[in-house]
């Protein structure tokens, strides 16, 4: 039986984290999950015509912003911005949202595509989902209640900036031709 | 006097040049002045209500032939842990969300790709100029013509056949396609060389044949060489990889505005009305033929017999059942 990382410890950490993120720091972002059944792809694995998303879910997060970058690419001066969104895993569980690669995060009227997920922050180094019991429910080393110890604290989504018209959530490209600009 | 005050507009170089041309055909006119093709309203036939769509073949059609042939004809498979597994074939580098979430059936719970897997992607398109071409994209000159068998204006009708009537036919003109050679890079990834051997054998057998859905488009595919490599890097899993290129001989007829505006897409055959005059030397000897019937009999009807025609008919079709007797010279 483990000594630390039990339910009381976890509850205290959960309360502290929620108070910090929800009442003191208060940084927010929304997560858009794809509707996989409704979003059709062509043979290239692209949903070029229409993308469908579940309704966005707003979370309190910790945000780690990199510096904006304007690289000189083959097609001209471009824009890049990488942001890491650190979610409290318990919030995600309550909202039944599993951030995955490719999901869209909305933050300050910009859209960010998740290109890396880090779920590696475990309190006392244990994940209660893996109590290592056999078919009879017995842990051979005698640790019979490992499912009550340990805590997956956070999920970190590393994202890259994507233009809003590619995401297709908001109407970003209001003018479709240079001729429209000249008429004005 | 009326031209007084008129501003002189000098001719452009193009106008001067055209003025020096002497057209070979008076009907067609100056071949360099192609504007006559635009204004020919007879070529602007609508597809409204037509069951035939304008013919197009695109790059996606050619790409999909590879996917079809792998999945439905070659059907590569390997035996892994005692189970025969179909090898998934995917287009490389699809969207992130699609790779991980929608197309993730060949990944394990953590997202790692499970072998075997075949990926392919188009890398190059080369124009094949050794075959015919349309000559000019502005005003295509070479077409392929397809005839529609029957249409509302050309209904199958025995009356028409009996009377040698041929109603106008619908013809569809398709611009001679752009012949291209496409190159695809393919990667086969497996855990074991033995699995790789089976896949390569299957793919090599399918080389030099026509790939694609027989009910849609088929294109000839060539695979010249397959390179096999076993990657055993420190800190990484052992992977057996084979790379090969598919050379596909295809053609495209794009669905674009320029083609729609400048090319002929549909036209009707010309209607020809033929009158066959019947001449007699003496009008007094001509007996008017009044057939005693109210409808036209045809087929295997045997009860009705027309009276023999007193006048030997001309070259028009004979609807009489009894062969007419030619007039005898008395």
Of the candidates A145, A150, A88, the residue with the CA atom closest to the CA atom of residue A125: A150
8 Å CB contact between B94 and B83: no
| Cβ-nearest to A34 among B64, B90, B97 | B97
Q: Tell me, what's the pLDDT at A153?
A: 93
* pLDDT at B209 exceeding the cut of 90: yes
Of residues B84 and B13, more confidence is placed in B84
Looking at A162-176, B81-95, B206-220, B305-319, which range is the least confident one? B305-319
Helices (H), B42-99: 59-69, 96-97
Average pLDDT over residues A127-153: 86
Question: Which one of B67, B91, B100 has the shortest CB-CB distance to A102?
Answer: B100
A60 backbone dihedrals φ, ψ, rounded to 5°: -85, 130
**Residues 70 through 109 of chain A touching chain B, CB cutoff 8 Å:** 100-103
Q: Do B95 and A42 touch (CB under 8 A)?
A: no
Closest CA to B259 of B147, B130, B133, B136: B136
pLDDT digits (tens, 9 = 90+) for A57-85: 999 999 999 999 999 888 888 899 999 99
Poorest-confidence range of A8-17, A41-50, B34-43, B107-116? B34-43
| Band of residue B313 on the pLDDT scale cut at 50, 70, 90 | very low
Tell me if A36 and B111 make a contact (CB, 8 A cut-off).
Answer: no
Average pLDDT over residues B51-61: 90
Q: What integer pLDDT is reported at residue B189 of this predicted model? A: 92
Structure tokens at B104: 């993730």
Q: Are A86 and A64 in contact (CB under 8 A)?
A: yes
Structure-block tokens of residue B137: 């994209």
pLDDT, residue A26, reads 94
Which residues from chain A sit within 8 angstroms of residue B95, using beta carbons? Answer: 41, 45-47, 102
Cα–Cα dist B204/B226, whole Å: 9
Whose structure tokens read 């490992």? A146
* pLDDT band, residue B288 (cuts 50/70/90): low
DSSP string, B202-248: HHHHHTTSEES-TTS--EEEEEEEEEEEEE--TTS--EEEEEEEEEE
Question: What residues in A contact B91, CB-CB < 8 Å?
Answer: 43-45
pTM for this model (two decimals): 0.73
pLDDT confidence of B286, banded at 50, 70, 90? confident
pLDDT in the model for residue B293? 54
Whole-number pLDDT of residue A121? 93
Half-sphere exposure (Cβ direction) of B7: Cα atoms closer than 13 Å = 1
Q: For residue A123, give the H/E element and its range.
A: strand A110-123
């Amino acid at each position: 039986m483990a000594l630390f990382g039990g339910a009381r410890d976890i509850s205290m950490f959960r309360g502290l984290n929620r108070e910090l993120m929800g009442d003191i720091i208060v940084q927010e972002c929304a997560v858009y999950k794809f509707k996989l059944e409704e979003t059709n792809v062509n043979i290239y694995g692209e949903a070029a015509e229409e993308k469908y998303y579940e309704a966005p879910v707003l979370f309190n997060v910790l945000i780690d912003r990199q510096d904006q970058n304007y690289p000189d690419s083959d097609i001209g001066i471009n824009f890049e911005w990488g942001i890491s969104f650190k979610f409290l895993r318990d919030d995600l569980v309550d909202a039944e949202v599993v951030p995955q690669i490719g999901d869209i995060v909305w933050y300050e009227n910009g859209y960010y595509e998740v290109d890396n997920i880090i779920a590696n922050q475990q309190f006392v180094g244990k994940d209660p989902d893996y109590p290592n019991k056999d078919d009879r429910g017995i842990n051979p080393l005698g640790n019979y209640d490992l499912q009550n110890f340990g805590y997956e604290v956070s999920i970190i989504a590393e994202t890259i900036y994507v233009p809003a018209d590619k995401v297709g959530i908001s109407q970003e490209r209001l003018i479709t031709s240079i001729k429209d600009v000249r008429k004005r | 006097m009326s031209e007084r005050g008129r501003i002189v507009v000098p001719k452009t170089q193009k106008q001067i040049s055209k003025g020096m041309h002497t057209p070979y055909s008076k009907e067609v006119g100056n071949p360099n002045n192609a504007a006559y093709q635009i204004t020919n309203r007879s070529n602007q036939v609508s597809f409204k209500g037509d069951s035939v769509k304008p013919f197009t073949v695109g790059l996606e059609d050619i790409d999909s032939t590879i996917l079809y042939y792998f999945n439905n004809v070659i059907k590569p498979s390997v035996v892994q842990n005692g189970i025969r597994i179909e090898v998934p074939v995917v287009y490389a580098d699809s969207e992130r969300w699609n790779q991980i979430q929608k197309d993730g059936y060949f990944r394990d719970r953590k997202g790692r790709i499970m072998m075997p897997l075949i990926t392919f992607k188009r890398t190059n398109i080369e124009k094949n100029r050794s075959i015919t071409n349309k000559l000019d994209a502005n005003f295509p000159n070479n077409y392929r013509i397809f005839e529609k068998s029957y249409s509302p204006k050309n209904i199958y009708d025995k009356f028409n056949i009996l009377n040698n009537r041929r109603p106008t036919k619908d013809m569809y003109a398709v611009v001679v396609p752009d012949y291209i050679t496409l190159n695809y890079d393919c990667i086969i990834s497996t855990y074991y060389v033995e699995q790789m051997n089976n896949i390569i054998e299957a793919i090599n057998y399918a080389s030099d044949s026509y790939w694609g859905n027989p009910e849609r488009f088929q294109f000839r595919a060539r695979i010249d060489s397959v390179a096999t490599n076993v990657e055993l890097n420190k800190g990484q899993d052992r992977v057996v990889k084979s790379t090969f290129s598919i050379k596909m001989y295809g053609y495209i007829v794009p669905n674009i505005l320029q083609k729609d505006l400048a090319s002929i897409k549909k036209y009707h055959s010309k209607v020809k009305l033929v009158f066959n005059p019947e001449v007699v030397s003496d009008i007094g000897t001509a007996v008017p033929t009044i057939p005693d019937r109210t409808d036209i009999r045809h087929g295997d009807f045997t009860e009705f017999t027309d009276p023999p025609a007193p006048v030997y008919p001309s070259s028009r079709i004979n609807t009489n059942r009894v062969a007419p007797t030619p007039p005898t010279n008395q």
